[in-house]
A and B are shown apart, each in its own frame.
Chain A
Amino acid sequence: MPVRLADFPRVRYGMPGNAACPGCPETMGLRYVKMALGDDVVLVIPAGCSSVIQGYTPKSGINFPILNIVFASAASAASGMQAAFESQGKDTTVIVWAGDGGTGDIGFQAMSGAAERNDNIMYICADNEAYMNTGIQRSSLTPYGAWTTTTWTGKKEHKKNIPMIMIAHEVPYVATATVGYPQDFIDKLRKAAKIKGFKYIHLLAPDPVGWKFDPSLTAKLGQLAVQTGLFPLYEYENGKLTVSVFSRLYRKPEKRVPIIEYIKVQGRYAQLMKDPEKIKGLEEEIERQWKWIDILEKSSNPSSVAQQIIKENK
C-alpha cells in the first residue's frame, strides 16, 4: 500500500524540544513509528542514544509510553510487558527500540531468546553503526574501514549481519529499512504490526555526529546506502525473501551508485578515501549482502528461479 503524505492528519507525531542532536535519524525513525502505528504502542528502550533523547524528567521527548531498561535485557522486558498486556486482554504493540550495540552486542542474547520463543513483540534496531551515545566506539555493526574512537585507523572487521541472523531464527517477519525511505519503513511497520510473533526490523540510521557528515544529509545518506547496494532493503516473511521496491534497481551492480559517492561525504571514511585499496573491503560487504539475498531468494522461491531460467534460455 503506497503511503500518501497528504492523507496523514495534521498532528504532531514527534515530540519537539528533545535532547537529540540536529539531524538525528532516531527521532526521524520514532516519528515514523508513530505515523505507522498510532497510539496503542509501548516502547522498551535499553541504554543508548534514545535513552538520552528523551531529555529530563518530568518531561519525555519521545512521544510514546516507555519502559527504559538496562542495556542487556530490552527484549526480555518487552516479552514481560507483552505477556502482561495479553493476560489483561489488551493487544498493545510492544516494541523494543534499541541501537546496534543493544541489539547485536550486549542485547543479543536476550533478543535471540525472545526470537526463539517467538514472543509477540516487535524489535527495531536503529542501527547507527557504533556506540554513539558514549562517544562513537566501534560495535560489531560498525562497517569495515569506518573510523571510531576505538578504531582510529578504520575497523578491520566486517559488519555483523543481524537481519540475516534473525532470518536464521525463522521468526515470522524480518525486514530492513532506512530513514531515507520513510514510506517503505512505514509500510513494513504496518505489515509487521499485523503479524503475531516476533518481528524484526533493521533500520539503518545514518548519524551525522558519528559518521561525520552534514546534518542536512541524514535522509540522503539513508538513500545512498540503498542506492550503492550497501544496505539492501528486503523483507523476509513466511520463509520467503523479497527485495523491496526501492532496492530492486540496485541488485544489478552496473545500476548502483558508485560507493565513493556514499563514503566521500562521511568523515569516518577519511582513511578509505586515502587508500583506494581499502575501498574494496567495503565493496566486498556489498557483494556479501547480495550473495545472501540471492541464496535466500532462490531457495525460498524456486518457481521464480525456474521462470528466470526459462526466460534466460529463450
Chain B
Amino acid sequence: MTQENSTLIIKDAETYFVVPISRPDFGSSGKTGSWRTERPVVNEEKCTKCLYCWLYCPEDTILRREDDMVYVDYDYCKGCGICAAVCPVNAIEMVPEVKRGEN
C-alpha cells in the first residue's frame, strides 16, 4: 500500500477556519455497490411497472425510465433484496455476485 502524502498549506494560519458541515451528495460512504453479495436483475418481460420495487428500495437505487420500466443503479445498490421480495410478479431475481464474476 502506498501512503498518501498530503500537505496542507495554510496560507494564513491566523484565519484557519473549518466547520463540521456537509451537503447531501451521493457516496458519503463511497460506492456502496461494492457491499453487495447479490445483485437484483430485472426481468423486463415479467415486470408490470407497478413500481413497488421503486417505492420500497431503501437506497433509492431502483430508477425509472420514461415508460416507468425500472432499472438498477449498481454503483450504490447494497443488494438487500427488498425489491425482489416486494415484487408481486417475481420479476426481480437476486443473482450472487460471485457467480457473475465467474461468468
A and B touching (Cβ–Cβ under 8 A): yes
Interface residues of A (CB under 8 A from B): 5-6, 10, 12-25, 27-28, 31, 54-64, 179, 182, 208, 214-220
B64 in contact with A62 (CB, 8 Å): no
Residue in contact with B81 in the complex, picked from A12, A16, A20, A23, CB distance below 8 Å:
A23
Q: Output the least CB separation between A14 and chain B (Å).
A: 3
Chain B positions within 8 Å of A179 at CB level = 56
What are 5 A-B pairs with beta-carbon distances under 8 A?
A: A15-B28, A19-B29, A23-B80, A24-B80, A216-B82
Least Cβ–Cβ distance between A21 and chain B, in angstroms: 8
Which residue of chain A has its CB nearest to the CB of B31? A17
Residue numbers in A under 8 Å from B78 (CB-CB): 20-23
| Cross-chain contact B80 with A22 (CB below 8 angstroms) | yes
- Please give the distance in Å from B74's CB to the nearest CB on chain A: 11
**By the criterion CB–CB under 8 Å, are B58 and A31 in contact?**
yes
Contact status A24-B54, CB under 8 Å: no
Q: Quick check: is B1 within 8 A (CB to CB) of the other chain?
A: no
- A5-B55, A216-B84 given as contacts; is B60 within 8 A of A16 (CB)? yes
The interface residues of chain B lying within 8 Å CB-to-CB of A18 are 28-29, 32, 59
Please report whether the interface of chain B is mostly helix, strand, loop or mixed according to DSSP: loop
- Complex: A21 Cα to B59 Cα, angstroms: 10
- A-contact bits for B5-27, CB 8 A (1 contact / 0 none): 00000000000000011111111
- How big is the B interface, by class? 35 or more
CA–CA, A220 and B51, complex, Å: 16
Contacting pair B81 A63 (CB below 8 A):
no
Q: Which residues of chain B are near A219, meaning CB under 8 Å?
A: 56, 82, 85-86
State A31–B68 Cα separation when bound (angstroms).
Answer: 19
10 more A-B residue pairs beyond the given contacts A14-B58, A18-B59, with a C-beta to C-beta distance below 8 A: A12-B60, A13-B60, A15-B60, A20-B59, A22-B58, A22-B78, A31-B60, A56-B29, A59-B22, A219-B86
- In the complex, chain B residues whose CB is within 8 Å of the CB of A57: 20-22
A38 to chain B, nearest CB (A): 14
Inter-chain contact total with CB atoms closer than 8 Å: 130
Residues A215 and B29 in contact, CB atoms below 8 Å apart? no
Q: Is the CB of B28 within 8 A of A5?
A: no
Expressed in whole angstroms, the Cα–Cα distance for A20 and B30 within the complex equals 12
How far is A233 from B76 in the complex, measured between Cα atoms in Å?
A: 32
Known: A15-B60, A22-B35, A31-B58. A60 touches B22 (CB 8 A): yes
Taking the nearest CB of chain A, how far is it from the CB of B35, in angstroms? 7
A55 engages B82 (CB within 8 Å): no
Complex Cα–Cα for A19 and B25 (A): 12
Q: Which of B22, B27, B79 contacts A16 (CB 8 A)?
A: B27
In the complex, A91→B68 CA distance in Å? 34
B25 x A60 contact (CB < 8 A): yes
Whole-angstrom distance between the Cβ of A289 and the nearest chain B Cβ = 25
Chain A proximity of B92: nearest CB distance (Å) = 10
Q: Which residue of A lies closest to B78 (CB)?
A: A22
A58 touches B23 (CB 8 A): yes
